[in-house]
Amino acid sequence: MGSSHWSTDAYHARQAYRSSRGIGAFDYHDNATKGARGTWKPHPDLDPHGVTVRESRDSDAHPNSLAVSVLFDVTGSMGGVPRVLRTKLPDLFGLLLRKGYVEDPQILFGAIGDATCDRVPLQIGQFESGNELEDDLGNLLLEGGGGGQMTESYELAMYFMARHTAMDCLDKRGRRGYLFIVGDEMAYGAVKAREVREVIGDDLAENIAFPAILDELRRRFEVYYIMPTGSAHFRDDRVRGFWEEHLGQNLILLDDLDAVCETIAVTVGLGEEAIDLDEGLRDLVDTGSKAGEAVGKALRPLSHGRGPLVTDPGMTGLAGDGPGVDRL
């Protein structure tokens, strides 16, 4: 995956083609949800069950791949996030590529629900470099369920990303990928072995405590949690406190849902030390974006010049920051 190139012209052409034929932006969702809820299933291309690995690999076209993952909660009030992301893809790629933040970004999209009650609690696409990303977004089933108890199955998604991804940025160059989770609730206290078997297919012997799976995940990804305004629990201190405790300044409070793509792009630019925050905000102005105020407020708490983990590629499996591990 990830051997093609992004084209904004192709993006607009695809949009026009679908519009002319009455094809919705989320056609798979529209068709799947016409049936009874008990029949809903993830699109085969996004079904995590039985997946060995999602790969972000170098190629002749993209010799310096960098894995960027964006997983969004699609329960309740968060169900509109994928629709915003789809319209803002040109902004995301425009900043990453035209402004030179990343040479060869490969982006994966996925969706998170609640494994205790949803039919489709996890959907994971491929790492892509081009317009195929639109297909992954368009094939999402936006279930909109959730259990109503201020928790969703973020920990299940973290398990998949920790144990079912392979990235040349890490394996060859010792640089972690980026993982953004867009949501407004807390994770459950543990990855449940039963849910892993049912949703992903791994024969997990026992539950994994949330701090343990997050620790494992952060050895592979720089992990951020974005809470956008307008979500049900944006101002809930319990949810904010949960993510502050586990992620610290990597909790991003965003006042404008429409600024999600720009926030992701500038955060990656900061992590790659391609820009400082003021430069990123100027780039937003240059591209005609009106998201600068929201992005600036959201990212100001992040320390400047802090990049992903750098390791000796031969030591990427070690737990804890030991010899061979450094920070940019």
**What residue ranges define each of the domains in the chain, with the CATH number in brackets?**
8-313 (3.40.50.410)
Rounded Cα distance, 222 and 328, in Å: 12
For residue range 245-302, list pLDDT tens digits in order: 999 999 999 998 889 999 999 999 999 999 999 999 999 999 899 999 999 999 999 8
Q: How far is CA 68 from the centre of its chain?
A: 7
Q: What is the pTM of this model?
A: 0.86
For residue range 26-72, list pLDDT tens digits in order: 666 767 777 766 678 999 999 999 999 999 999 999 999 999 999 98
Rounded Cα distance, 308 and 66, in Å: 11
- 322 falls in which pLDDT band (50, 70, 90)? very low
- 303 falls in which pLDDT band (50, 70, 90)? low
Place of tokens 């993830």: 42
Pick the residue with more confidence: 222 or 20? Answer: 222
- 103 falls in which pLDDT band (50, 70, 90)? very high
